[in-house]
Chains A and B, each alone.
Chain A
Amino acid sequence: MNFLALAGVLLIPVLSAAVLATLRDYRLTARLNMLAALLTFMMALLLFFVEVTPGPYLLVDDLNKVFIVLTTFVGFTTSVFSASYIGHEIDIARLTPTSVRFYHAMYQMLMFAMNLTLIANNIGLMWVAIEIATLTTVLMVGIYRTHEALEAAWKYFILGSVGIALALFGTILVYMAARPVIGEGLDAMVWTELVQHAAKFDPALLNVAFVFLLLGYGTKVGLAPLHAWLPDAHAEGPTPISAVLSGLLLNVALYALLRFKMLLALNPAAIAPGPLMVTMGLISCIFAAFMLYRRRDIKRMFAYSSIEHMGIIVFAFGMGGALANFAGLLHMTMHSLTKSAIFFAVGHIAQVKGTQRIADVGGLTVTNPVLGWGLVLGVVAIAGLPPLGIFMSEFLVVSSTFARAPWLAIALAFGILIALGGLFLRLNTIAFGEPRGPTAPAEASFVPMFAHFAIVLMVGIYMPPVLVVGFQNVAKLLG
């Protein structure tokens, strides 16, 4: 059972990547991709029922269970969306069958790399996994081979590599700090060992290490001012990849950051990582909120919205404490579900209209009611209006901050309101008003999108006690 769950989460994606790379028929590979993602998700659910003793490489605890289940779930729904999206891209010859073959193999490689990052107990292994995830997404962002796609992929590759290089330097420094206490060799990179002995590490070395890790993995989280790759990569790659990038990969990088934050929190003499994260989170949130106003490209706009929300999440985790951590965790989950659902809608909109320019899309609720109202629902959710889940989590973040640092709470609320204005300004043009552009009905599967919205709505109205208790446990773990 133990072995089955662990192996399932890691081996199913790897093996299916190998199989998908060899098959030609794109309809078949799209279905197999869905099947593999579904199986991985079921294996991830199995993790809740097994006790795994942490080894030198793998670890399963309450924290990463939540991340893994979220990752595999959104991975599965995105693969369903991807099947209909890719079909259309082949019909209009934007993608060739060969590149689709490659795309599906890379999709599963990405799922593998993300699961490996989450399940790794070894900070070296974790770094390697994030590197693999970056390389696979770089290749997928460049898959259209247009000027814009190539430039976006190149920019992402260079900035991502620099970030990852800085993170490796930070990882080496953590090892250097651990070595005198734990001793040479593998143990000094094993996370569970590090946590046990963290109080005795050299604080100065840990401080420097955390700065490198924050800058390095922070680049991957998309925190301002290190976010420059993010809007381009989201706008120019295939939309399923935008959904996975926003909904999952940013979280995975954040998870790495959280692990190191927990390490630092255990050392009384090291700097408190909280204020650094709060600062970067707040800057990202407010900066991205203002950037929303000048966007002309629909995918780019939602990419900036992702920066804003990652800012809020990092802010919440930076504040720390049981309530703020709970809020951060909830917000992360809600953002993943909502943002990927929005990208599902946006992908079909761009296919119907043949463009991503906001100015060329209009009156969607009239021409394509399901798609249009789906997008409206998504924007209402992402802007943080009641009764949806993001309202709950944003309310919790702001109110828990209010009790401890009122000025920070006001600044954060300001950022959220600015973003709300920006989003609705654009939504107005896209969803209502004079219909513009082609009005052909979308050949889309709306199930993934509305499934996500249903969960977000349910959490906004009534949170099941299982979920509350689970999140509370994780929040305690995060300290």
Chain B
Amino acid sequence: MRGLSFDIAHMLAGSLVLVSFMQLYQDRLYALLNIFALHAAILAASVAWQALVQDAPHLYLTAVLALVFKAIIIPTALHRIIVRLGIHREIETVVGVGPTMLLGMGLVALSMVIMLRVTPQADPLAREDLAFALSVVLLGLLMMVTRRNAVSQVIGFMSLENGLVLAATGAKGMPLVVEISVAFSVLIAFIVIGIFLFRIRERFDTVDVQALDRFRGERR
């Protein structure tokens, strides 16, 4: 039983990394949103599995939050925003798909090297989870760096947060305070983002961050 529970947790965390990779090469916003919903759903499954294995019922709450907010409500809302703004066309990436994927692989390798080396005496489940979580965090960062579109940057940020939740649930017995706060902060972040998109829309006819870049720097 011990072996099976480990394998399932491992598989779920691993698929989270895989889905993070899938996000990297999506070049349409709708597809990206769907993949993000999948990402959040897998996270929910992974958290629920941890709740079962660790016998920590409060983690179910985190799982439900992940499923309801991140996999359903947020993608739906962003979908609407995209429709309303009429920006469902292609996403422009700063770096090409090939180099991005290579960079992503490098980041995953890096996080494996760091995390597996420093946690030799931790229990294997937490170890692997932490390594995967760091990969997801770094891939989320990579996505934020390589995208120009404000919506896809937000999605990158949210998948980064998913990695953090994975890490927090993998750390056995981590107090509830943090889980709630993580979920809560995502919610707040979303509200903030909503306001921002609304305001950006007020001033510009695009949510392309490059268009914002024109105004950067000092007024001459």
Contact = CB atoms under 8 A, between A and B. Distances in A.
Do these two chains really belong together in a complex? yes
A154 B209 contact: yes
Given A162-B160, A172-B164, A154 B150 contact: yes
A176 B133 CA distance: 14
Contact of A168 (B121, B164, B188, B219): B164
Determine the interface band of chain B, counting residues with CB < 8 A from chain A.
35 or more
A168 B133 CA distance: 12
Contacts of B126: 176
A232 B216 contact: yes
A151 B212 contact: yes
Interface stretch (B62-70, B87-95, B100-108, B173-181): B173-181
Contact of A128 (B118, B185, B218): B185
Contacts of A173: 130
A56 B78 CA distance: 39
A157 B192 contact: yes
Interface stretch (B26-34, B37-45, B197-205): B197-205
Contact of A357 (B173, B182, B219): B219
B141 to A, nearest CB: 6
B157 interface: yes
A162 B161 CA distance: 9
Contacts of A166: 137
A320 interface: no
B153 A124 contact: no
B148 to A, nearest CB: 12
A358 to B, nearest CB: 9
A180 B171 CA distance: 11
B80 interface: no
A142 interface: yes
A297 B196 contact: no
Contact of B144 (A162, A176, A202, A296): A162
Interface in B123-181: 126, 130, 133-134, 137, 141, 144, 150, 153, 157, 160-161, 164, 167-168, 171-175, 177-178, 181
Nearest to A297: B218
Contact of B175 (A157, A158, A185, A232): A185
Contacts of A138: 192
B53 interface: no
Contacts of A146: 203
Contact of B177 (A128, A176, A205, A297): A128
A468 interface: no
Given A157-B196, A158-B157, A202-B121, A296 B173 contact: no
Interface string A259-300: 000000000000000000000000000000000000111001
Contacts of A202: 118-119, 121
A207 interface: yes
Given A158-B157, A165-B137, A150 B200 contact: yes
B177 A151 contact: no
Contacts of A180: 121-122
B117 A204 contact: yes
Nearest to A209: B118
Contacts of A300: 218
B188 A135 contact: yes
B2 interface: no
B212 A147 contact: yes
A204 B122 CA distance: 12
B84 interface: no
B39 to A, nearest CB: 16
B105 to A, nearest CB: 20
B215 A148 contact: yes
Most chain A beta carbons < 10 A, residue from B114, B185, B220: B185
B18 interface: no
A238 to B, nearest CB: 16
A207 B119 CA distance: 11
A161 B150 contact: no
B196 A154 contact: yes
A186 interface: yes
Contacts of A145: 199, 202-203
B174 A175 contact: yes
Contacts of B178: 124, 127, 168, 171-172, 189
A70 B204 CA distance: 41
Contact of B119 (A128, A150, A172, A205): A205
B111 to A, nearest CB: 10
A153 B134 CA distance: 27
Interface in A163-203: 165-166, 168-169, 171-173, 175-176, 179-180, 184-186, 188-189, 202
Given A147-B203, A204-B117, A169 B134 contact: yes
Q: Top 9 nearest A-B pairs by Cβ distance?
A: A184-B173, A204-B118, A147-B215, A124-B178, A128-B181, A151-B212, A296-B218, A186-B175, A297-B218
27 contacts: A127-B178, A128-B181, A139-B192, A142-B199, A146-B203, A147-B212, A150-B203, A151-B216, A154-B150, A154-B212, A158-B144, A161-B157, A162-B160, A168-B178, A172-B164, A175-B171, A176-B126, A179-B172, A184-B172, A186-B175, A189-B178, A202-B121, A208-B114, A232-B216, A295-B218, A356-B219, A357-B219
Given A131-B181, A131-B188, A147-B203, 7 more contacts: A151-B216, A165-B160, A165-B161, A168-B164, A179-B171, A204-B119, A207-B118
